Structure 1
Amino acid sequence: MPTVHAITIGVVLPGSSLVFYQTMLKGIQQSAHDRHVDLLVRSPSDGESLNTSNIQLRIIDYMVTQGVSGVLLAPEPLGSDTRVSISVPVVLVDRYNADYDGLSTVYTDNYGAGRKAALSLVPVLKKGAKVAMLRLAPNVSSTSARESGFLSVARREGWDVVIDTYVGYRPRDAEALIAEAISAYPGRLDAVFAPAEPIAYGALRVIENAAIGQRPRLVIFDWRPEFLEGLKRGIVYAAILQDPYRMGYLALASLVEALQGHPPPRTIFVDVVTVTPKNMNDPAIRSLLAKYAK
C-alpha cells in the first residue's frame, strides 16, 4: 500500500473515560502510526452526546473546517429532525447509524453477541429460572441489540425475566439503580445480564456485596482490568469481550484505504470471545485482556 502523507483523520468517540473507548483509541492510534497519517481527536464528555443534542455533529463540523480528510465516528443518536451532510468520507466504528452515510461500519454483531451471553448460561439454568436484564439506554443501538439477542434465548429457554429495567450509562448511578432493582425483587435471582461496561462495573459491585449463597450468576459485557478479580473469585460467571483495539485499527485502515480509492466492505464484523474462570489463562484470552490494560 503506498504511503500516505499530509493526511489528518478526525476521530470522534462518545467519550473517553470508559476503558472500552480508551482501548479503541489505542488501536486507532497504532493504525494511524502504521499508515503515516495524523489524527485530530475530539470527543464529548461521557454521556454528553445523549444529553446534548447533536454535539458530535458540531464536533465534526469543526473538524471539517480544520481540514480533515475523513472522519472516524462512533455515533451517538441525533435529533430526529437532523439532516446530516458531511463533505468528507466517514467510517463508523462500534455501532451503525443510518443518519450518517458511512462508507463502512466496523463493529460487533451485537445481537449475536447478546445471544452468546445467554448461551453461556444454558447449561446451568433450567426452565423458569429467574433472570435480571439491566439495560443501558433505549436510544443506543449496540446495547439494545445485545439485550434483544439475550432475550431471544431467554424466551426460547423459558426463563422468567423478573427484572427488566434501564440503569443508565454512568457507573455510580447505575450501581445505585442496580442495587435498588435487585433489593426490590423478593425472590432469589439465578442470573443477571449486564450488557455494557458501566453496567457491568455497577453489577459486580452490587453482587460481590451479597451473601455468597445469594449471588446470582453474573454475565457481563466488555471489560475493565478490575473485572479480572471478579472472574478469579467466581463472582463473574462469564464475560463477553469485544475487541475494541481491533475495531479501531481496522476502522482507521478502512478509511485510509477509501481515501486511496479502495472502498472498504460496507460491514466489517469483529468477533467476540466468551471468557470464563476456566479459560481466562489461555494464551489467546490473556492476549486479548492485555489490550485493555491501562
Structure 2
Amino acid sequence: MKDISVYLGYSIGFLLFIICFGYTLYFGKQTFHLDQMEVSQAQNYDYHFVLIPEEKGSEYWHLVREGAMETAEQHHAYLEYVGGAQTSEEEQFRTLDKAIDAKVDGILTQGMEGERFVELVHLAREKGIPVVTVDADNPKSERNAYVGTDNFRAGYLAGEAFVNETTGKQNVAIIIGRSESPNQQKRIEGFQKAIDNEERVQVITIEESNISIVGAAQATYQALKKHSEINGFFGTNVLAGIGISQAITQTNRKQNPYIVTFDTLPKTLDLMRDGIIDATIVQHPYRMGKTGINLLLDAGNSKYVEPVQYTPSSILYKEDIHKAKYGEEYSYEINSQ
C-alpha cells in the first residue's frame, strides 16, 4: 500500500511538472520580461521588441525610446527598454544575449565593434530575430539595417566650423566618449578630413571621457595640462560640451576656446546662449527610434529594408540660437530647415 502511495505521489508530481512546463512554453512569449515587469503590462501584444541603449539614463537615449515607443504603440507592439545605468559594453552584450535567448520579435540596439557583436547578431538572425542598429553601426555584422546619423558627415560639419568660423592658429583637443565606439571614430575621421587642407587647424590631442560630464571636464583639464596652447575643443558626444564648458569656466582663461559639440540638450543650448559653446551638431534621436521600429516590423514581415538609413544632421551656431524651437520630435530644430 505504501509503495502504491509513493508511486501515485511521484506520478502526480511528474504530471504537474509537465503541465507547468507546457504552460511555460506556451505563454513564454507573453510572460518573459528582461527587466521583470508585471505580466499584465505586456499581455495581448502582437510583437515583443527590445531597445538596448548605450546608457539607460541618458537624455539622448530617452528620446530614442520615446520615438520607438510611439511607433510601437501604433502597431500594438510591446517595447522593452533594457540596459545598464552607466555605459558598459559588457552590459550591452549581456542584454543582447538575453534578448536573443528570449526569442523576442526584434532588437533595436546600438552597434558595437568586435567579433562578439558580430557573433551575437549572427545568432539572432539564425533564430529569425531581425536586428536594427541605431546611433552607431557595425556593417560587418548581419544586422538588417542601421538607422541614425551619418557620423562621418557630422564630424565633417564640425571640422568645417573650425575652418570657416575661426581665424588664426587653432590647436584643437578632441574629447571623445569611448575610443572603441564606432560612431565616435567616424566623427573623428570626418573632422580630420574637413581640416586636412587647412594647416592652421591641427588636432593636438584626443582625450576620453567615458560619456559623462565629469569625465569630459577631467579630460579637458588633462588636455590643457599637457598642451597649454589649446584654443579649440571638439566634443564628439552628447555630454562632452557641457563638461568642456565646466572646465573652461573654472580655469579662468583670458580667452575662451572655440567649442563645437554634439546634440541639443537644454543645458547645451543655454551654454550657447551664454556664448561659451560656439556650435553643436543637431541629431534626431526621436526620429531614429520611430524609424527603427518600422524597420523591425518590415524586416520581421520579410519586406526588403534599405541597409543604411541616415537621419538628418546639421550644425547650429550660437548666432542662430534665437531661431531654434522645441519641435514635435523632441529635438531643437532651426525654423528655416
> Does the 8 Å contact 2:56/2:82 carry over to 1?
no
Taking the aligned partners of 1:199 and 1:215, their CA distance within structure 2 comes to: 16
Q: Deviations over 1:81-131 (max 9, x none)?
A: 973311211111111114531111101111111010111222333463222
- CA drift of 1:195 comes to 0.7
Q: TM-score, normalised by structure 1?
A: 0.87
> Does the 8 Å contact 2:281/2:316 carry over to 1?
yes
Give 2:51's match in structure 1, choosing from 3, 7, 11.
11
Residue equivalent to 2:195: 154
Match for 2:216: what amino acid? A
2:326 is the alignment partner of 1:286 = yes
Match for 2:71: what amino acid? S
Secondary structure of 2:305's match?
coil
Taking the aligned partners of 2:94 and 2:171, their CA distance within structure 1 comes to: 44
Residue equivalent to 1:69: 105
Count of aligned positions: 283
Q: Deviations over 1:42-75 (max 9, x none)?
A: 11232221xx3xx434323322443411111113
2:239 is the alignment partner of 1:239 = no
2:323 is the alignment partner of 1:274 = no
Residue equivalent to 1:175: 217
> Does the 8 Å contact 1:12/1:74 carry over to 2?
yes
> Does the 8 Å contact 2:146/2:307 carry over to 1?
yes
Q: If each structure's helix is expressed as a fraction of its own residues, which one has the higher value?
A: 2
Give 1:33's match in structure 2, choosing from 73, 94, 100.
73
Higher RCO (CA 8 Å, separation ≥ 6 residues): 1
What is the 5 A alignment of 1:89-100?
Answer: 89-98=130-139, 100=141
Taking the aligned partners of 1:82 and 1:160, their CA distance within structure 2 comes to: 35
Taking the aligned partners of 2:100 and 2:206, their CA distance within structure 1 comes to: 42
Q: Deviations over 1:135-176 (max 9, x none)?
A: 222210001110111122222211132233333323213311
Assess, with a 3 A threshold, how the Cα gap between structure 1 residues 208 and 34 changes in structure 2: closer, same or farther.
farther
Say which one has the larger Rg.
2
Match for 2:301: what amino acid? Q
Secondary structure of 2:142's match?
coil
Moved more, 149-158 or 73-82: 73-82
Match for 2:227: what amino acid? Y
Give 2:94's match in structure 1, choosing from 58, 74, 77.
58
Assess, with a 3 A threshold, how the Cα gap between structure 1 residues 194 and 249 changes in structure 2: closer, same or farther.
same
Identity %: 20
Taking the aligned partners of 1:269 and 1:110, their CA distance within structure 2 comes to: 9
Q: TM-score, normalised by structure 2?
A: 0.77
> Does the 8 Å contact 1:14/1:45 carry over to 2?
no
Secondary structure of 1:205's match?
helix
Match for 2:182: what amino acid? S
Match for 2:260: what amino acid? V
Assess, with a 3 A threshold, how the Cα gap between structure 1 residues 186 and 60 changes in structure 2: closer, same or farther.
closer
